[in-house]
Structure 1
């Protein structure tokens, strides 16, 4: 059954309100659509709640602190690290309340080892990514922290079946050698694809040993890392599917045909002008638009359905796809919830295409 979920980011600062909204939307999806609730991430709460600080909070025996230029490894735990850990515990506590009595899939996203190494600095030096030994140490530390995090989630929600998403949105830069040094006058050396696959596999295996039912690697807006993710043994690859060229879609199709799942990030639904264009007419015919205009969820679904059809992939394989919402820079809690509702409606159209095929 075609599923719908999110990768964590949410607007606002009230974590319980956000988690309750997500649980409500994704446990009441339409017939034919499987909702996968996720652990929310509210970066608007400040340092320690944003992806790098949140990732640093998971590192086992590798304390970090906030320096003038960003998060860096530290000699001993300090208040910055403690704050990040406290915010993460607050998230898990809110999940325990909002998901009380829930049993089923639960998605938890964390910053992956290479994206974390690309943003986190050594205690005395450049980015962690500049030192292969430090990257390996960080990966091993993160693997332990991820296992502990999954254990905490299973205590908070005893009926949970966790899926781990590793956010590797910087991975293309890492593989291509395009990540700038701290000084900004050069770039760091590219990390070999084999090393990337090996270390992603290490975290994935630790997650599965801790009870993760599947491991997904999110590569942001790039298809470049797809083969490395497949070689790492990931169960699925997540990426924003809007705007890829033919070569990118060929790479995605190659992964799908090898049995790797696709988590397709859709663009935000634009507001359709009433009565203009085929998408608006199709929206009215399916109850997804109106004469007053509204979100064009037909066009939103088309970001996946169009290329899928051009590649000749079987429509029935859409049942294996998980659809996720793309980020919205100017979101509010209300617009975040409306955006998730739009994605659920777009997923319903994708599920219908799967059944028609």
Structure 2
């Protein structure tokens, strides 16, 4: 069985974390250290945008124009930080052979977070959100190509983070005034933009919600879905079962991001029990990737986050043994 983290980690020492992820998990990943200026998931993704300019306002990132617009100082700083992190990746992963994951905020979560030049979220404008998604998809293609060039032995896996998509689909994203909500997006529309991202590399879509839109993810071409198993309701588990039987890789978030650290058995049991209740093939359970419940940026310390990542392999062993019973 395979283990990995979901990107975000506490602290500000990217070199220490790069060493750690290469050691502690089977699928290493480019660390996201949100404690640093421009290190959060939205800033990291704005850095990947190569055709749109943006600047950082008190309320968050805002687009400032099209292809001819000049990147702001904030956007240039975000890009510089990403390049520094990629330099560290290239140094520490020298000679590495195997899968390597990079993370990016998905088009719907980004559209619900970033503002248009004249105000309100990009989500409010059908054309603007398509332009943003296309610019991001182009930037992601270049980003993945850069990682492959820096680490020639890497089999790059792309993680698309979509924590905001359930609210987008439900029409629950507030407008700038706060008095109303943005119009909901239907499933086919969500699939259309997400599918722009599933050709760059094998893609896992990550969403920590009680009912993540699994069907949207799989129809977009994602080869994997990452979920917080403790949050999933019955309907979501039914969708997980359908996806697993269709060959989608399930990234099961079983280690809480804060609080007391469970034993490997305690963390594994709910997953194994639910798998059996659904009547799923035990062989499919062996293909599940074991992860924390979500990103670990909120962990109280780097040492605590390391302990949670270290626990993943013990959990994988317990789940593997259970699948043989």
Of 213, 225, 234, 1:237 maps to 225
Aligned to 1:249: 237
SS at match of 2:172: coil
Q: CA deviation at 1:270?
A: 8.4
> How has the CA–CA distance of structure 1 residues 37 and 301 changed in structure 2, closer, same or farther, with 3 Å as cutoff?
same
Residues 1:52 and 2:71 are matched in the alignment: no
**Of the candidates 250, 266, 290, which is equivalent to residue 262 of structure 1?**
250
Give CA-to-partner distance per residue, 1:28-65, whole Å, 9 cap, x none: xxxxxxx111110001002x211111111111210111
Alignment of 1:1-357 (within 5 A): 2-26=1-25, 35-46=26-37, 48-75=38-65, 76-205=70-199, 207=200, 212=201, 214-268=202-256, 295-326=262-293, 327-328=295-296, 329-354=298-323, 356-357=324-325
Asked if structure 1 preserves the Cα contact closer than 8 Å seen for 2:194 and 2:220, the reply is yes
Tell me if structure 2 keeps the 8 A contact 1:266–1:301.
yes
Is contact 2:9-2:299 (8 Å) kept? no
Structure-2 separation of matches of 1:82 and 1:243: 37
Asked if 2 retains the 8 angstrom alpha-carbon contact of 1:269 and 1:297, the reply is: no
TM-score of the aligned structures, taking structure 2 as reference length:
0.94
The runs of 5 or more residues in structure 1 that have no matched partner are: 27-34, 273-293
Secondary structure in 2 aligned to 1:154? Answer: helix
Residue deviations 1:136-177 (CA, integer Å, cap 9, x gap) = 001110111001111111122110000001001111111111
SS of residue in 1 equivalent to 2:89: helix
**TM superposition outliers: structure 1 runs of 4+ over 6 Å:** 269-272
Match of 1:29 in 2: none
**1:214-239 Cα distance to aligned partner (Å, 9 max, x none):** 11111222434111111111111111
Query: 1:279: which partner in 2?
Result: none
Measured on the aligned residues, the alpha-carbon RMSD in Å equals: 1.6
In the aligned structure 2, how far is the partner of 1:10 from the partner of 1:301?
22
Whole-angstrom CA distance in 2 between matches of 1:266 and 1:116: 26
Q: Could you tell me whether the CA contact under 8 Å between 1:270 and 1:296 is conserved in 2?
A: no
Whichever of the two has the greater Rg, that structure is 1
User: Structure 2, unaligned stretches of length 5 or more?
Assistant: none
Please say if residues 227 and 251 of structure 2, whose CA atoms lie closer than 8 Å, have aligned partners that are also in contact.
Answer: yes
- How far apart, in 1, do the equivalents of 2:52 and 2:133 lie? 11
